[in-house]
Copies of this chain bind each other. A is one copy, B any other.
């Protein structure tokens, strides 16, 4: 790309490495950044560096936070005895947005996937087991409804059940507003198997 100056080409290249940013978007972003007021670019750069430097795992639930213990784990308004297990911090955010769950979370940072060589030791399972030695009423497994998510849910439930702790799994079925016609067979079957008596 020698039709841009080296600095612009470099910036386009760097931006193009980010997920979901294709060649065209990288180009548009680069030109936008070059035309931004200098202080704004400095602010964006320092925000990136700050976040990267200061964000770490919460000592309790392993979510990303800038404190030792995240606001949810340190809140006395949350029921610390109900733990929802999620794959990553974005899934945690998805449930937090609803604002209806008053328990706490445990972020695995991944799911078991023999295909990708990710075993139980590669996700934050040890940390979950440690938490369960405390006073816990229920573990709600909210891993994704994918092959890996299901395998992880299965594995965790087998691990926890013998300890006598209640384990549940979020429901799987037809999404609200979903048109049966366009829903895949596995989901339809899952919805049938999971039917609730009225």
Contacts and interface: CB of A to CB of B under 8 A. Distances in A.
Counted per complex, copies of this chain come to 2
B7 A50 contact: yes
A36 interface: yes
A28 interface: yes
B49 A42 contact: yes
B44 A7 contact: no
Contacts of A19: 28-29, 32
Contacts of A52: 33-34, 36, 38, 41
Contacts of A15: 44
A82 interface: no
A4 to B, nearest CB: 6
A115 interface: no
A45 interface: yes
A158 B183 CA distance: 60
Given A34-B55, A51-B33, A64 B25 contact: no
A146 interface: no
A44 B14 contact: yes
Most chain B CB within 10 A, of A1, A18, A27, A97, is at A18
6 contacts: A5-B70, A8-B66, A15-B44, A18-B33, A31-B89, A38-B52
Given A3-B92, A7-B54, A31-B88, 7 more contacts: A3-B97, A4-B93, A14-B43, A18-B33, A28-B90, A33-B51, A38-B53
